[in-house]
Amino acid sequence: MPQEQRSPSTQHDDTAAAETRHKTTTRADAGIDDLDAILDDIETVLETNAEEYVSGFVQKGGE
């Protein structure tokens, strides 16, 4: 049975693809962490004083 041999360029392509996947995953994880932090901040504000938070978005007369 013949053995498969990979050429150096194929190995380089595989390595580059793996690095790209790792960078993409890392960026996605960072984005998720940032979003979680923002949602935690909003939740904290709402737990503390929801009425004041909401009143900041209510339109006043003439606005």
Q: CA-to-CA distance for 11 and 32, rounded, in angstroms?
A: 32
- pLDDT (0 to 100) of residue 50: 85
**Residue 61 phi/psi, 5° resolution?**
-55, 130
Global confidence as pTM: 0.44
Instruction: Extract the tokens encoding 45.
Output: 């504000």
Q: Give the pLDDT confidence of 1-60 residue by residue, as tens digits.
A: 556 655 555 666 777 777 777 677 787 788 888 999 999 998 998 899 888 888 888 887
- pLDDT (0 to 100) of residue 1: 52
Instruction: Identify the residue whose tokens are 């503390």.
Output: 48
Residue 29 DSSP code: H
- pLDDT (0 to 100) of residue 39: 94
Residues 6+ apart with CB under 8 A from 46: 53
